[in-house]
A and B are shown apart, each in its own frame.
Chain A
Amino acid sequence: MMSGNLARVSNGAALPLKKVPKLSPGAFRDCVIASVASGSRLVALCADEKLQLFAIMADDEAGILGMARTALSKPAYPALTPECPAAQLFEREMAEQQGLLPEGHPWFKPVRGHLPGRPGPDPFGRKPAEVLAGLIPFYRVEGTSIHEVGVGPVHAGVIEPGHFRFQCLGEEVFHLEIALGYQHRGIERALLGGPHAATLKMMESAAGDTTIGHTWAYCQNIEALSGIAPGPRASLIRAIALELERLANHTGDLGALAGDVGFLPTSSFCGRIRGDWLNLSALLCGSRLGRDLVRPGGVGFDLDGDRCLELRTRMEKAWAETQAAVNLLWQAPTVMQRFERVGLLTGEQAQEIGAVGPAARASGLRLDVRLQHPLSGSSQSLIPHGWDDPAGSGGDVFARAWVRWREMHHSIDFLSKAVSALGALGEGKKAERRDRPALGANQVCLSLVEGWRGEIAHLAVTDAGGAFSLYKVIDPSFHNWSGLALAMRGGQISDFPLCNKSFNLSYCGVDL
């Protein structure tokens, strides 16, 4: 159920800003809290330079998206977090970006370690030397038997920087706090007044392992705001690339999960096969990470008949090898005893924090942008859902692994259908591509894409001159990191790497 005060929007369609009702701050707050209370999900909560707040709500079962806004007269407002936990990181982010003070926020700490872009006092009251990534007042458990373990930001493996602070009693974790921001590049700030010449490249590297997902969401915004359509062929190629990205990453994740429990065969084979999947992206566009494929107005490279054929052959070979390698996992009791009942995130917790993607589905939530909020023309409705499979809804490491495995089957299914459909579409006329078309003035557009980690949300608002007055990038990791912290409570500290990998969240996608 959506609150009546919300403007209905559809995924990837522009809307004149004046059609979004401007509520009073009190009504805005009530509207968001009432929507969340009635089962809706908070997709985004953000503020622009003029202290205008936007909230996006999703009713996933009904496939409805709603938007509300309000304008604040002073940089402070009563926090939503006490009533709506999913808002906690959004509110901290708004405080850090625009200097807005959420009064009564129970966990008020900086997110990325930078100063607000708007002039005014720092709502966190930090001294200049304290404005750095990782410098947050960590929660501490007191007591002589408690010990504190800090891991990172420099890690032993080749991974991104992030700091994890554990409060432990022996091997048991009482509390985990995660500090990010080490890779903050100021992407959202740089987008203001855009799109600029470098914007497309910035979107491709917002989270480098999710190039297709983020670039698609961005291009969808540009297309909707400028009134150009990518055409069926380009949409289908984007959908193919998105599933290839999912297959490569899910294969890598399953291999890495095997590696973390010391199960050699799957770990080694998946490491190699992931490369085979990445090479299919390279077949599409010459880049294993899908760079330069998705462009405003279409795609950078067409997929002709010969390469369709090659894609299909190589896909079938890689899939057979993936199945052989991954099935070893499910057949090994020693692996299952590591995966099962470890790192539990209950469905209730997942819903409260607003978790998305495979992690949320593994906790029993039914949400998938591809099915519930499909982009028009992407044919993603061909993808089956696997929600009736009880194996992958326990919320533990096993469930998160199993959900990935199930999704890979669905992706393969979709790919073979999509490649056939592409052949039937014929060559078609070349889509019109313009990297920086003129955007409509005073418009707002929300684009959601189901990346391999979950829902990628891009919100664009243009000013009277057709330039971005607000551009919000929300990687699925933004919602899910607190899920990892919850999953570790009461767990073994030695199980942390495994739990971490089962979520496999992006650091740079949050740091932006």
Chain B
Amino acid sequence: MVELGALFPMGWFQTLCHVVAALALPPLVLGIINKTKAAFAGKVGPPVLQLYYDLFKLVQKRMVVSRTTSWVFFAGPVGAVVVGVLVSLLVPLGDHRAPVSFAGDMVLLVALLGLSRFLTVGAALDTGSPFEGMGAAREVTFAALAEPGLFLGLCALVVLSGQAALAPMLAAASQAWGAQAGTLALVLLGWFIVLLVENCRIPFDDPNTHLELTMIHEVMILDHSGPLLAMALYGASMKLFLLISLLLALCLPRTGNAPLDWGLFLAGVGAAAVLVGVVESVIARLRLPRIPLLLVSAALFTGFAFLLSLVKR
């Protein structure tokens, strides 16, 4: 029997801060990435708040829905947002705690991400378009290779911290840099690759391309319009934000002072967004057949971290 107090460890004010941050910040991350890329390209670039404007515009628009689609087509974007909200309750942000926390909740986290993908892929296949089918096939292929990278990293942290709930586990692990720097660095490296592939960033996918034949994620939402497209975009930005938060929870210091912790967290999100922007600016996309090689290396990084954690215990 799980005690309710243990399941919801945060006070109402902290929970409110957490939820507001998780809902409001994600589009900003993409704004920072795009500003960084624009700086590298010698351009002014779109405003940092552009995605907010886009979302605001899209929700006011009508939807155009193909006659060949069914409710499955709607489930993709709706699922992306719902999963985003649910995952945000499990992942610690500036507070280093999560509103919902229980032993084994990281399995739920991975399962929720998988569910979101399943629904998005279903929506893409529902259109019957050859482009979207191709994108769906690519998404599933690469996700199957990225998931072990995420999961093995979680395993390493469980062993390292002796905790089975996500937030306490990350909190304990982030205190272990002195003794376990190698393990944590490998996890971070593997997870950064997972972050890039899960969010369809260069070198895996090009979020700015207009070429359907090369797209992965973008092509799956080609037929969505209006509020559905807004949900798909918002859901994708939440996923990016939450995976960045997961990485930050591993490497940010804890001061114990709540405003300062939040400040550090926000700075960390900004820095991570800039880092993603820099990566996208200085390298080209991989050829599609080469992507699995890099994904396997992500799994190897976290796999070795897992082995190290077993040895060092």
Q: Which residues of A contact B (CB under 8 A)?
A: 147-151, 156-157, 170-171, 258, 260-265, 267-269, 272, 332, 334-335, 337-338, 342, 492-497
Contact = CB atoms under 8 A, between A and B. Distances in A.
Contacts of B62: none
Given A148-B130, A264-B280, A492 B289 contact: yes
Contacts of A267: 41
A335 B284 contact: yes
A494 B284 contact: no
Nearest to A259: B209
A242 B184 CA distance: 60
The 6 A-B pairs with the shortest beta carbon distances in the complex, nearest first, are: A268-B41, A262-B285, A263-B284, A262-B206, A334-B284, A261-B284
Interface stretch (B15-23, B168-176, B211-219, B235-243): B211-219
B209 A262 contact: yes
Contacts of B203: 262, 334
B287 A332 contact: no
Interface in B189-211: 202-203, 206, 208-211
Given A171-B288, A263-B284, A493 B41 contact: no
A213 to B, nearest CB: 28
A151 B289 CA distance: 22
30 contacts: A150-B130, A151-B212, A151-B213, A156-B210, A171-B134, A260-B214, A261-B285, A262-B206, A262-B208, A262-B280, A262-B285, A263-B283, A263-B284, A263-B285, A264-B40, A264-B41, A264-B280, A265-B41, A265-B282, A268-B43, A332-B284, A334-B283, A492-B289, A493-B134, A495-B287, A495-B288, A496-B213, A496-B214, A497-B211, A497-B213
Interface string B53-84: 00000000000000000000000000000000
A295 B110 CA distance: 69
Contacts of B213: 149, 151, 493-494, 496-497
Interface residues of B, number: 31
A168 to B, nearest CB: 8
B35 interface: no
B299 to A, nearest CB: 21
Contacts of B178: none
Contact of A337 (B41, B280, B286): B286
A149 B283 contact: no
B42 interface: yes
B53 to A, nearest CB: 22
Interface of B: 37, 40-43, 130-131, 133-134, 137, 202-203, 206, 208-214, 280-290
Contact of B290 (A170, A260, A337, A496): A337
Given A157-B211, A334-B203, 12 more contacts: A171-B289, A262-B209, A264-B40, A265-B282, A269-B41, A272-B42, A332-B284, A338-B287, A492-B289, A496-B213, A496-B214, A497-B211
A492 B42 contact: no
B134 A338 contact: no
A151 B131 CA distance: 9
Given A268-B43, A334-B203, A337-B287, A149 B131 contact: yes
Contacts of B287: 337-338, 342, 492, 494-495
Contacts of A494: 213-214, 287-288
A52 to B, nearest CB: 44
Nearest to A173: B213
B42 A269 contact: yes
Contacts of A335: 284
Contacts of B40: 264-265
A332 B212 contact: no
Contacts of A157: 210-211
Contacts of A150: 130
Given A268-B41, A493-B213, A149 B286 contact: no
B133 A497 contact: no
A484 to B, nearest CB: 14
Contacts of A492: 287-289
A261 B202 CA distance: 9
Nearest to A147: B130
Contacts of B284: 258, 261-263, 332, 334-335, 337-338
B285 A149 contact: no
Contacts of A170: 137
A171 B290 CA distance: 13
Q: Which among A261, A268, A492, A497 has the greatest number of chain B C-beta atoms within 10 A?
A: A261
A345 B307 CA distance: 47
Contacts of A268: 41-43
Contacts of A151: 212-213
Nearest to A332: B284
A496 B213 CA distance: 7
B289 A264 contact: no
B212 A264 contact: no
Contacts of A332: 282-284
A496 B37 CA distance: 25
A265 B211 CA distance: 19
Nearest to B43: A268
Contacts of A260: 209, 211, 214
Contacts of A342: 287
B288 to A, nearest CB: 4
A497 B214 contact: yes
A237 B124 CA distance: 55
Nearest to A272: B42
A264 B211 contact: no
A332 B37 CA distance: 17
A267 B137 CA distance: 29
Nearest to B205: A262
A467 B40 CA distance: 57
B15 to A, nearest CB: 40
A215 B303 CA distance: 64
Contacts of B130: 147-150
A260 B287 CA distance: 11
B281 A264 contact: yes
Contacts of B206: 262
A362 to B, nearest CB: 19
A156 B286 contact: no
Contacts of B208: 262
Contacts of B134: 149, 171, 493
Nearest to B209: A262
Contacts of B280: 262, 264
Contacts of A148: 130
A135 to B, nearest CB: 19
A262 B287 CA distance: 11
A148 B210 CA distance: 20
Contacts of B290: 337
A493 B280 CA distance: 23
A261 B287 CA distance: 9
A500 to B, nearest CB: 9
A485 to B, nearest CB: 15
A503 to B, nearest CB: 15
A287 to B, nearest CB: 27
